[in-house]
Copies of this chain bind each other. A is one copy, B any other.
Amino acid sequence: MTRQAAPKRYHHGDLRNALIKAGTRLLRDHGVAGLTLRTVAKRAGVSHTAPYRHFPDKVSLLAAIATVGFEQLSAALTEVVVTHADDPAKQFIEAGIAYVLLAVRNPETAHLMFGGGSLDLKDADQTLELAGKRAFEDLVRIVENGLRAGIYRDGDAEKLALVAWAHAHGLATLIIAGRIKDAASSEQQVIELTRYVCQTQLSGMLNNTSVN
């Protein structure tokens, strides 16, 4: 909606957002290796030193991009909770699917969000760290819903959420890394595989024995 009427030139404008947008596109199309500060600047129509007026570092721009990713994740999780407000088990499974789908659709951004390695963006950027914690809290809330409904065996919501996160995250990472190409080529296959994984996971946490 707001994109169509964009000005064709900003000799000055909200460059900061333009840089984030250009960086995100560059990341998606050419990978993190193709995301250079100089080309980002060129795409935004400014000189290659202009970004330093808005980001102290290249890392800071990357952190801003990853922050957007976490915000999208939070939004997706919140929507899952709202859609299945009366079914905490379904919330759990659909949250996993939403997580994996988001990662599979934006592999480069996901890589940035959980990079690990020495690319510890989050150590350098508080905003990013906060956004990540917020997304985790959304997941904790889903588990708490299940605890309130009494469907889980254990009682530590944070710990259970951690397990669940590890599960979805691991699956997403393996798919992104292309290590499950046989079983996860189409998006429909990804959804079904994730559902299977989350259900197995849920079986280990459930109070009752019967599982379908």
A42 contacts the other chain (CB 8 A) = no
Contact with B along A22-44 (1 / 0, CB 8 A): 00000000111110000000000
How many angstroms from the CA of A196 to the CA of B205 in the assembled complex? 12
Whether A31 and B118, one on each chain, are in contact in the complex, defined by CB atoms closer than 8 angstroms, is yes
Q: Looking at the assembled complex, report how far the CB atom of A23 sits from the nearest CB atom of chain B, in whole angstroms.
A: 14
Whether B117 and A108, one on each chain, are in contact in the complex, defined by CB atoms closer than 8 angstroms, is yes
* Copies of this chain present: 2
Chain B contacts of A166 at CB under 8 A?
Answer: 167, 170-171, 173-174, 197
Q: Looking at the assembled complex, report how far the CB atom of A135 sits from the nearest CB atom of chain B, in whole angstroms.
A: 10
A105 contacts the other chain (CB 8 A) = no
A78 contacts the other chain (CB 8 A) = no
Whether A200 and B205, one on each chain, are in contact in the complex, defined by CB atoms closer than 8 angstroms, is yes
For A201, give the chain B residue with the smallest CB separation. Answer: B204
Q: Looking at the assembled complex, report how far the CB atom of A27 sits from the nearest CB atom of chain B, in whole angstroms.
A: 9
- 129-154 of chain A: CB within 8 A of chain B: 132, 136, 154
Chain B contacts of A170 at CB under 8 A?
Answer: 165-171, 173
Whether B173 and A116, one on each chain, are in contact in the complex, defined by CB atoms closer than 8 angstroms, is yes
Chain B contacts of A201 at CB under 8 A?
Answer: 163, 167, 200-201, 204
Whether A31 and B174, one on each chain, are in contact in the complex, defined by CB atoms closer than 8 angstroms, is no
- 4-57 of chain A: CB within 8 A of chain B: 30-34
Other-chain residue from B116, B120, B171, B193 in contact with A110 (beta carbon distance below 8 A):
B116
Q: Looking at the assembled complex, report how far the CB atom of A35 sits from the nearest CB atom of chain B, in whole angstroms.
A: 9
For A123, give the chain B residue with the smallest CB separation. Answer: B178
In the A-B complex, the 10 residue pairs with the smallest Cβ-Cβ separation, listed nearest first, are A31-B118, A170-B170, A204-B204, A166-B170, A111-B117, A203-B204, A169-B170, A116-B176, A166-B171, A116-B177
23 chain-A/chain-B pairs, Cβ below 8 angstroms: A107-B116, A111-B115, A114-B173, A116-B176, A122-B178, A123-B178, A136-B179, A154-B200, A159-B183, A163-B201, A165-B174, A167-B167, A168-B170, A169-B170, A169-B174, A170-B170, A170-B171, A200-B204, A201-B201, A202-B204, A203-B204, A204-B204, A209-B209
